[in-house]
Amino acid sequence: MKNVRVLVLGGYGINCDVETGWAFEMAGADTVETVHINRVIEGDVSMDDYGIVVFPGGFSFGDHISSGRVLGIKIKMELGEKLAKFIADKKLVLGICNGFQVMVKMGLLPGGKISHAFNDQSVTLVHNDSNRYEDRWVTITKEVSNKSPFLKNIAVLPIAVRHGEGKFMANSEEINRLEKSGMVAFRYTTTDGNPTQEYPANPNGSINAIAAITNQAGTVLGMMPHPEVYISKTQHPHWTRENDLPEEGMGLQLFRNAVDYIKHL
């Protein structure tokens, strides 16, 4: 089995890198390193040395222009070819919240055909229908048609959201492509797993209740909710009241799936 090395990108207002790194450490990664994006651009650190690259949550470049836009352009211009090779090698890329916004703004998600990492931007994430920042817990449910290695052994997942621009939008043609290609990963649902457009269960008004998508290969996952916020029982808001909560937070399974996939790649 391979050693699993995780590269967590930091800098420029990214502020969820530490807890994201902890999640991968708890999931069994051999090495987790948080590196400023400039060190990767300048060649001090090579993505080739890692099996997983992570775009964590935060407020990159202060969300100027729109959330994720500036960092997305910077990465596509400076690291686009290297990132495309990384994906072609069947390695994993994860973007959470602002990281998801970065991915869609640079066209990495949903991307082109399986053999092409990038495409022109075809989906977006815009201001929540509530017109306010949403910072609370919701429920998401895995879409069974998505076969991404990130999603193994996950069904219904209580999870935190922390975003002001999380409404997933695209034209009807692109939404149909995502649905038919099995690229929807998670939907906002009621606690029993039924997709919903109703607020507050759907915190932002996302079309078709879409909370996360992957590329066609399933190796690139972008999601608005924060799985790294629920890696232990005591992070759940009801942990002192619900005796049946497992000691391990349910979000940890996503990180464990990623680590296990790279071990056997």
**Residue carrying structure tokens 């048609």:** 145
Judge whether 205 and 167 are in contact, CB under 8 Å: yes
User: Contact at 8 Å (CB) between 103 and 72?
Assistant: yes
Amino acid in the structure at residue 42: E
* Measured distance CA(261)–CA(257) in Å, rounded: 6
Strand runs labelled E in the chain: 5-10, 31-36, 52-55, 92-96, 124-126, 134-142, 156-163, 167-169, 184-189, 210-214, 220-223
Task: Give Cβ neighbours of residue 87 (< 8 Å, ≥ 6 apart).
Answer: 93, 117, 215, 217, 219, 220
CB atoms within 10 A of CB 238: 9
Select which of 97, 143, 163, 236 is catalytic.
97
Active-site entry in 16, 134, 165, 226 = 226
Active site residue 116: no
Q: Is 228 a catalytic residue?
A: yes
Distance from CA of residue 251 to its chain's centroid? 12
Q: Which residues make Cβ contacts (< 8 Å) with residue 78, sequence separation at least 6?
A: 41
Active-site residue, 97 included: yes
**CB–CB of 178/110 below 8 Å?**
yes
| Residue of 188, 224, 194 whose CA lies nearest to 209 | 188
Q: Which of 134, 143, 165, 228 is catalytic?
A: 228
Active site residues: 97, 226, 228
